[in-house]
Amino acid sequence: MTFDQIMQRNISSKELLQMVQYYRGQLTQDALDYLKDRGIQSEIIEKFLIGFEKDMIGFQPNDKGFNGYFHNRIIFPLQTMEQDVVDLIGRSIDGREPKFKSLIGVEDVFFNEMVLKQVDDVILCNSIFDVLSLEQAKLPSICMINSQLNDQLLTKMENKRVFICFGNDEIGRRETIRVAKWLESVIKELYIIHLPKGFKDVNDFFIRMKNPSDEFINIINKTLKESLLSPIAPDSSNLVLFQEEYIKRYNKKLSGIKTGFKALDELLVGGLQEGLYLVGGAVSVGKTTFLKQLTDQMATNVPVLYISWDMTSFELWVRSMSRFTGCSTQQIFSGQVPVQDIQLANQTYSTLAKNIWTLDANIHTSLEDIAIILNKILLQLHKKPVIIFDHLQRIHLKQGLSMPAHEQQLHVTYNLHHWSRQWGVPILLSATGKEENFPPELVASIDSYIHLEGNNKEENSLVTIELKKNRNGSIGKIQFSFNKTIGLFSEILKDAD
């Protein structure tokens, strides 16, 4: 996928309003029943201009091509503080993924952000349905569309008293801590609301709790009272999260993203976690081939975004075809493999490709450009992805900005580490060289360093993959056999005692 292909849909404000009215007119009884089951009243449906798109059967001509885009989804218009509709968000009612789907991909507007003009106190929630439940109780609330904060959103929160109330599970507690760190620098006061055990989120609380409005206000008042007694939350507020984390480590059940290599996952204590991983090694040792194999293996479970300055998307696809067919990359590049073999391999690969986004970068593509594209893709995903950058020495911050190479690399690394925390995802960054060749400040800013060492001249060789730094677990070495002809890394399993 080239950057020219990733274009924002060209839809005028007038067309968006027409679509809003059209979808409002499609609200079926099934859609209304779904909203009723979620505790949403008719007044709120009207106030938020909620609509629906029916399942499409047969050919549906439409010059914009949007018929069927939201099929079987409740549709929520996204409005600015001035109440201008800038996007549409669809939520499936039949379990299909992703649950939430954006038409345009606007990332700098909160859902229900109009309330920010009217109040100084606001509740920051996890989902649209949480906001709708609180709105019925006359409690001002907003939510992020894709759970990602950015500078534009932070600016809108300046000097507000913010009450965070996310999901009542481990993921929600982690998100609360992550978002709270971002908000602390701009808001007036910050409070974290803890729901009673047994309720998964705000919407669930309002559906099942008796007198939910009164009870929720009591929880807010309790939160304020405890904060007055202890302005800075003691460590006890995080003990449940810490204990959950340790128990998972103790039982070897950490919820990291599996790489597809058992020994590597064990060394990473369950797989890839949030943070920045530097993947280093000499020229032609196999870094890109290793990362492409990782991409295909991880794509069986999670989305993977691969941004390449090193190879084109076609060249990376050839690496996958080589592994699937057992034919060399040279044979595939020169067209010597039977078409039916490539078709069969491509059919197998197509299942993985639905979870892979490969972006062709070039000398004119800056990190600033990438940020815009990634934010749009992240809005469409139902799972947090792994993001891979290949490679460090070819990335520059922005067009027209000139600085020494080592300084540029430091800034790029800092920004990627920042993104991994902001988005709560693992980011892998390949780089040519050894740890001692990188500036100490660069190594200090990464969470893990994975080094590949091997003979880059042999077609079949041993490659040592060493985890030399790991803030989330242990360090150590793993031996791999590397078939350079077909680009295949295979773990060398240790003999059982």
| 190 membership: H or E segment, kind and range | strand 189-192
Encode pLDDT of 215-265 as tens digits: 999 999 998 887 775 555 566 666 766 776 677 667 766 678 999 999 999
| 430 membership: H or E segment, kind and range | strand 426-432
Q: Find the mean pLDDT for residues 353-367.
A: 91
pLDDT score of 495 more than 60: no
Tokens of 277: 């991983």
Encode pLDDT of 418-460 as tens digits: 889 888 899 999 999 887 888 888 888 899 999 999 987 788 8
Domains of the chain: 1-104 (3.90.980.10), 107-250 (3.40.1360.10), 262-491 (3.40.50.300)
Distance CA 265, CA 249 (A): 13
What mean pLDDT value characterizes the chain?
87
Residue count of the chain? 497
What pLDDT is attached to residue 436? 80
pTM of the predicted model as reported, rounded to 2 decimal places = 0.68
pLDDT score of 346 more than 50: yes
DSSP 97-134: SSSEEESS---S--BTGGGGGT-SEEEEESSHHHHHHH
